[in-house]
Amino acid sequence: MASNMTRSSMRPLCAGFEGDGKVTLKNQVSPNVCFATRDGHFGLVVESPPLMPVRKKISRWKLAVGSSIGAALGAILLGLLLVAMFIKVKKKARMEEMERRAYEEEALQVSMVGHFRAPTASVTRTTPTIEYQYIPHHPS
C-alpha cells in the first residue's frame, strides 16, 4: 500500500448492504467481527486512497511529427477530393458537349414527347406502281 496511509486508515470497517441499495458502515466489535441487528449481506471493507490520474507527458518532437503527419494526410485527402470533383465536372462537360453535337448533327428531326426528346422521321412513302407483267399462276 501507499506509504502515506496510516495504520488506522487500514483498519477494516463493517459494511451492511440493504435491499434498497443503501450501505451502512460501522466499526468492528473485535478484530474481523461485525455486530448485526438484522438479516442481510455484510462484509469487511477498507477505504482506499483516491487514485491520482496518471498523465503521460508527450514530448514536443513527437507532437510535432504527429501533427505534421496528420496535416499531410489531411492535405492528401483534400487533394484527392478536389481531383475527383474536377474529373466529375470534366466528364459532365464532355457529355454535354457530345449531346450538343449529336443534337446539331442529327439527320432525324427531334420532337419533345413529354420531357424526353424523341427522334421523328419525315413521312415518306414509295409510290405504288402496277406491274403488268405479273401473271398470277393458278393451279388447274
pLDDT, mean of each 10-residue run, the chain (140 residues): 50 86 86 83 84 81 94 98 98 93 72 80 74 70
pLDDT at 111: 78
- Classify 103 as helix, strand or coil: helix
The total number of structural domains in the chain stands at: 2
DSSP strands (E only) in 54-131: 109-113, 116-120
pLDDT at 64: 93
pLDDT at 8: 52
Question: CA 76 to CA 139: how far, in whole Å?
Answer: 88
Residues whose CB falls within 8 Å of the CB of residue 97, separated by 6 or more in sequence, listed in order: none
Residues whose CB falls within 8 Å of the CB of residue 42, separated by 6 or more in sequence, listed in order: 14, 15, 16, 17, 34, 36
Instruction: Check residue 40 and give left, alpha or beta (phi > 0: left; psi -120 to 50: alpha).
Output: left
Q: Rounded to 5 degrees, what are φ and ψ at 120?
A: -130, 140
Question: CA 102 to CA 118: how far, in whole Å?
Answer: 13
Question: CA 88 to CA 82: how far, in whole Å?
Answer: 10
- What type of residue is 95? M
Contact call for residues 120 and 110 (beta carbons, < 8 A): yes
Q: Is 28 within the bounds of a domain?
A: yes
Q: Is 34 within the bounds of a domain?
A: yes
Question: CA 48 to CA 115: how far, in whole Å?
Answer: 78
| Host domain of residue 36 | 8-45
Q: Is 53 within the bounds of a domain?
A: no
Q: Is 119 within the bounds of a domain?
A: no
Q: Is 115 within the bounds of a domain?
A: no
Residue carrying the nine cell digits 451502512:
24
pLDDT at 2: 42
Model confidence pTM above 0.85:
no
Q: Is 125 within the bounds of a domain?
A: no
pLDDT at 116: 83
